[in-house]
Every structure is written in C-alpha cells, then in structure tokens.
Amino acid sequence: MRALAVGARVLERSLDDMTLPQFRVLALIAFSPERANRLAEKAAVSRPSLTGLLDGLEARGWVQRVEVEGDRRGVNLEVTKAGAAALKKAERAMTAELDAVLREAGDDRASVIDGLNALGRAITELRHARQ
C-alpha cells in the first residue's frame, strides 16, 4: 500500500497546476459529460468534496455547468477548451513521469508493467462486482 501512496505523490508532483483529484474529475467529465450526482459516484467522492472540486475547476475555466433543458434543477458538466488543453498537458506530464519511473526499473520494466496491468484488471473486476 505504501508503494501506491508514493506512486500517487510522484504523479501528482508531475502536475504543474492541477491536483490528482482535479485530474480525475476533469478526465471523467471529458470522457462522459453528465450530472454531478453520477459524477460523484464515478469519482468515488462525496457530494461536498465534488462540489469543491467542481468550483475549483470552474474558477479556472476548465469546466462549465450547463442547464438541462426542461429540468430547473438539472445541470450537466462539460469540459471547456481550456480544460481540454489542461487535461492534455497533465496527461503528457504524467506519462513522462511514468516513463522516467519505468526507465529506472531497468530489467524489471516488463514485470512492473505486468503488475500494473494486473492491478488494473483487479480494480475493474472489484468495481463490477460491487455494482
């Protein structure tokens, strides 16, 4: 577990102007614009935490709230052009950081990648089992 926490900190440090939770929420919105209540569920954060994240993303001009026609309380979330650019920059920075880490793995690189793929599959299976 310590390795996961260290890995998360390494990735977050590679982000210049965004936190890892902001990245996660921005990426979720970019891949599937939708309402905040569904987004909180997908991002595995509480509604109050999501509200704070969204306020920060909106203040930076990365996300916009769009009213749902025919639903006075409904709001969809969409990534702006600036948000898409920030997301792309963050993805490049994290990819570069991961590449640097994998270079340090040397002969163990393939094993590290296999382990990460196995972890990803296990997480996906667990998520499906809990639904």
Structural tokens at position 82? 């600036």
Phi–psi pair at 15, nearest 5 degrees: -90, 120
Tell me the per-residue pLDDT of 23-82, one tens digit each, with 9 for 90 and over.
989 999 998 877 777 787 788 788 888 889 999 999 999 999 887 777 777 778 899 999
pLDDT band at 88 (very low <50, low <70, confident <90, very high): very high
Residues 6 or more apart whose Cβ sits within 8 Å of residue 79: 26, 29, 30, 33, 62, 63, 87
Amino acid identity for residue 123 in this structure? I
Give the per-residue pLDDT at 55: 93
Give the per-residue pLDDT at 85: 96
> Once rounded to an integer, what is the mean pLDDT over residues 89-117?
88
Structural tokens at position 123? 């997480």
Give the per-residue pLDDT at 29: 92
Whole-model pTM?
0.77
pLDDT at 127 over 80: no
pLDDT, averaged across the chain: 85
Q: Transcribe 15-59 into DSSP letters.
A: -SS--HHHHHHHHHHHHS--BHHHHHHHHT--HHHHHHHHHHHHH
